Amino acid sequence: MVKVFIIFLALHVGLFGGIYESNCVQCHEKLPVGIDKFFYRYLLKYSSQEQVKASLSAYLKNPTQDKSILQEALLARFGIKEKTTLSDPQLQKAIDAYWETYKIFGKLK
């Protein structure tokens, strides 16, 4: 019975409560600027999927003002994000989920 519960819990977390939702969305929901706006700023600055993901990963691993895409007013108000505690595979999974959620490629008509 315990094994069934563990399997159910793992499937539930994997399908409905992924790394992105629990580690990114949860905190960003509290901000007055939606997480989608950050995505669009990354896309405007870096333009390709590969560059957006690489720059986002670099920022989250070692956040600095130089790497930030935030406007000066938002940086002054909220400061620089703390370094991620996610492992590289977890971080990549979260970034992939973020990309899939907000990408515009293939959605424009």
pLDDT digits 0-9 by tens, 50-84: 999 999 999 999 999 999 998 898 889 888 989 99
pLDDT at 9: 45
pLDDT digits 0-9 by tens, 19-41: 999 988 888 888 888 889 889 99
- Of 58, 55, 46, the closest CA to residue 83 belongs to 58
**Which is higher by pLDDT, 10 or 63?**
63
Q: Is the pLDDT of residue 5 over 60?
A: no
CA distance 49 to 96: 10
What is the value of pTM for the model shown? 0.76
Q: What ranges in the chain are assigned the alpha helix state H? A: 2-16, 19-20, 26-28, 35-46, 49-61, 72-78, 88-102
